[in-house]
C-alpha cells in the first residue's frame, strides 16, 4: 500500500510534490561531458593552471594542491574544459575509481581543467541545488546506479557519460533540496572536524613517542649507545633477553577439534588468530575476537606456544609484514604460521604495554630476513636492541601514551557515530521518507 502523500515512480516511492527527472534534461543540467586528453608536452608548467585527475578526486575531498600543474598553452588548448564553481565531477574510468564524486570549488584564482577519466555535470542552478546533488551522487542509490553502468573489459572499465545523462534522480522543490543539503553538509563538516582532531592527535603521539623513548621522563643526564642517545639510568637490551618469541605450533584443525565450542567453568577463551583477524571490528588495538574461538583448560593455555594476554603481536610472513600492524592480545591466543608474538618473560622487569608502545614506532619490515618471500624469524627478533628504563618509568611512559590512545579512540568512535548518522539521514532525507521544514 502506498502511504498518503507519496507516489510510486521508476526509482521507488517519493513524496507527491517531488519529481523524477533524467539528469541530462535541460531543466537539471547545462552540460554532461567527459574531460579531454591534454597535451602536457607544450610549454612550461605554471602553478596558476592545473589539471584535476581521478587521483585528486574523492567523495570527502578534492586534493586541489596535488593536481598537476600545466602550462598556459596546455590550458588554452583545453579551455572548453575549464571548471566553474559548483561543477560536479564524477570519476568514470577505472573500476576502483568509478563513482567517486565531489563538487568543485574555485580556489585562489587558480584555473583548473578536468581530464579524460572524469565526467563533468554542470547543473542548472536556477532549478537545482548543486550541493544537494553532491550529496545524492555520494549516496547508496547513486553508487549502485554507477556500479550497474560500468562497461568494458577488465582493466578498461568505464562509465559512459551517456549513461549519466539518462540517470533518473529525485527532485524535491528547490528550497527543500537546499535544506536537505544543509543538514547533510553539517554532518559532513562535523566528520571533517573530528577527523582533523584525530590526525592532529596522532601527529602529537608520534612526536611524544619519539621524545619519551629517547629522553624518558624528567632526565637531565644522557649517554650515547648503539641505538642512540638515552637517559643514563636506562639499559639497552636484546628482545630475546626480556621476551619470549612465540610463533605457530598448533594445527588449526586440531585446535578446532580438541577445543570446546561453548564456555564452561574453569575454561579459558582461546582465539586461533590469523592476520585477517587484525581487521575485525573491535580489534583495532586489542585482539578481542576472532573468527575461530574455542575454550580450553588451564593446562592448555599454559603451553609455551600459546600466547598469553597483553603480548605484542605482528605479522611475520609475506606482504602482511609491510602493513606494519601490531596488536595486543587480550585473551589467550594460538597463532597461525603468519604471525609472531613477543610477551614479556617477567613483567617485573619488562612491562608488556611499554613493549607494545615501543614496537608501535618500529617498522618491522626493516628487520625482516632478506628472502623471496619476506619473513621474520626468531633469529631476527631475538637480537633486536631496545631501550629499557626502570620498571616504574616503563609503566609511566606506557600510561602517558595509553592516555593519548584513549583520546584517539574516543574521537574515532565519535567519527564512526557521525558516519552512521550521515548514512541514516541520507537514506531518509534523499528519498523523502522524512520531510524537512523549509
Residue-wise pLDDT tens for the chain (438 aa)? Answer: 899 999 999 999 999 999 999 999 999 999 999 999 999 999 999 999 999 999 999 999 999 999 999 999 999 999 999 999 999 999 999 988 999 999 999 888 999 999 999 999 999 999 999 999 999 999 999 999 999 999 988 878 999 999 999 999 999 999 999 999 999 999 999 999 999 999 999 999 999 999 999 999 999 999 999 999 999 999 999 999 999 999 887 899 999 999 999 999 999 999 999 999 999 999 999 999 999 999 999 999 999 999 999 999 999 988 889 899 999 999 999 999 999 999 999 999 999 999 999 999 999 988 877 777 888 889 999 999 999 999 999 999 999 999 999 999 999 999 999 999 999 999 999 999 999 998
Tell me the domain boundaries of the chain. Answer: 19-171, 235-388
Cell of 388: 629499557
> Does 3.90.220.20 match the CATH number of domain 235-388?
yes
Instruction: Classify domain 19-171 by CATH number.
Output: 3.90.220.20
Could you tell me how many residues make up the chain?
438
**Residue with grid cell 598469553, as numbered in its chain:** 308
- Beta-strand ranges (E) seen in 106-157 are 111-114, 118-123
Helices 352-360 and 391-429: crossing angle in degrees, nearest 10, is 60
Measuring CA to CA, which residue among 75, 67, 66, 64 is closest to residue 40?
A: 75
According to the 3-state scheme, what is the secondary structure of 252-296?
Answer: HHHHHHHCECCCCCCCEEEEEECHHHHHCCCCCCEECCCCCEEEE
Domains 19-171 and 235-388 share a fold: yes
Cβ pair 252, 273 in contact under 8 A? no
Amino acid at each position: 500500500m502506498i502511504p498518503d502523500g507519496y507516489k510510486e515512480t521508476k526509482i521507488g516511492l517519493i513524496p507527491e510534490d517531488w519529481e523524477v527527472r533524467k539528469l541530462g534534461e535541460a531543466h537539471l543540467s547545462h552540460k554532461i561531458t567527459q574531460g579531454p586528453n591534454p597535451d602536457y608536452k607544450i610549454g612550461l608548467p605554471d602553478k596558476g593552471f592545473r589539471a584535476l585527475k581521478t587521483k585528486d578526486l574523492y567523495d570527502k575531498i578534492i586534493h586541489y594542491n596535488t593536481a598537476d600543474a600545466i602550462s598556459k598553452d596546455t590550458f588554452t588548448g583545453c579551455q572548453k574544459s575549464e571548471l566553474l564553481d559548483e561543477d560536479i565531477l564524477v570519476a568514470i574510468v577505472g573500476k576502483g575509481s568509478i563513482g567517486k564524486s565531489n563538487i568543485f570549488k574555485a580556489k585562489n584564482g587558480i584555473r583548473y581543467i578536468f581530464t579524460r577519466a572524469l565526467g563533468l555535470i554542470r547543473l542548472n542552478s536556477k532549478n537545482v541545488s548543486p550541493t544537494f546533488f553532491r550529496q545524492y551522487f555520494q549516496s547508496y542509490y547513486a553508487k549502485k546506479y554507477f556500479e550497474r553502468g560500468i562497461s568494458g573489459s577488465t582493466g578498461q572499465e568505464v562509465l559512459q557519460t551517456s549513461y549519466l545523462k539518462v540517470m533518473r534522480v529525485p527532485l524535491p522543490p528547490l528550497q527543500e533540496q537546499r535544506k536537505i543539503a544543509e543538514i547533510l553538509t553539517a554532518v559532513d563538516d562535523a566528520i571533517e572536524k573530528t577527523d582533523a582532531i584525530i590526525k592532529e592527535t596522532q601527529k602529537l603521539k608520534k612526536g611524544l613517542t619519539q621524545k619519551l623513548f629517547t629522553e624518558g621522563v624528567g632526565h637531565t643526564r644522557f649517554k650515547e649507545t648503539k641505538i642512540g642517545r638515552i637517559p643514563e639510568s636506562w639499559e639497552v637490551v636484546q628482545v630475546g633477553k626480556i621476551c619470549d618469541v612465540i610463533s605457530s605450533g598448533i594445527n588449526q584443525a586440531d585446535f578446532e577439534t580438541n577445543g570446546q565450542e561453548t564456555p564452561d567453568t574453569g575454561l579459558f577463551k582461546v582465539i586461533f588468530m590469523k592476520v585477517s583477524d587484525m581487521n575485525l571490528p573491535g580489534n583495532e588495538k586489542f585482539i578481542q575476537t576472532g573468527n575461530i574461538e574455542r575454550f580450553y583448560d588451564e593446562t592448555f593455555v599454559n603451553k609455551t606456544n600459546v600466547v598469553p594476554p597483553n603480548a605484542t603481536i605482528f605479522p611475520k610472513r609475506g606482504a602482511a609484514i609491510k602493513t606494519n600492524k601490531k596488536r595486543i592480545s587480550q585473551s589467550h591466543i594460538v597463532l597461525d604460521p603468519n604471525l609472531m608474538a613477543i610477551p614479556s618473560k617477567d613483567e617485573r622487569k619488562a612491562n608488556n604495554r611499554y613493549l607494545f608502545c615501543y614496537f608501535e614506532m618500529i617498522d618491522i619490515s626493516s628487520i625482516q630476513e632478506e628472502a623471496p618471500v619476506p619473513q621474520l624469524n626468531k633469529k631476527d627478533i631475538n637480537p633486536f636492541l631496545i631501550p629499557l628504563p626502570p620498571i616504574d618509568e616503563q609503566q609511566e611512559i606506557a600510561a602517558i601514551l595509553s592516555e593519548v590512545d584513549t583520546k584517539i579512540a574516543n574521537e574515532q568512535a565519535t567519527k564512526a557515530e557521525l558516519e552512521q548518522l550521515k548514512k541514516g539521514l541520507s537514506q531518509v532525507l534523499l528519498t523523502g521518507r522524512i520531510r524537512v521544514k523549509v
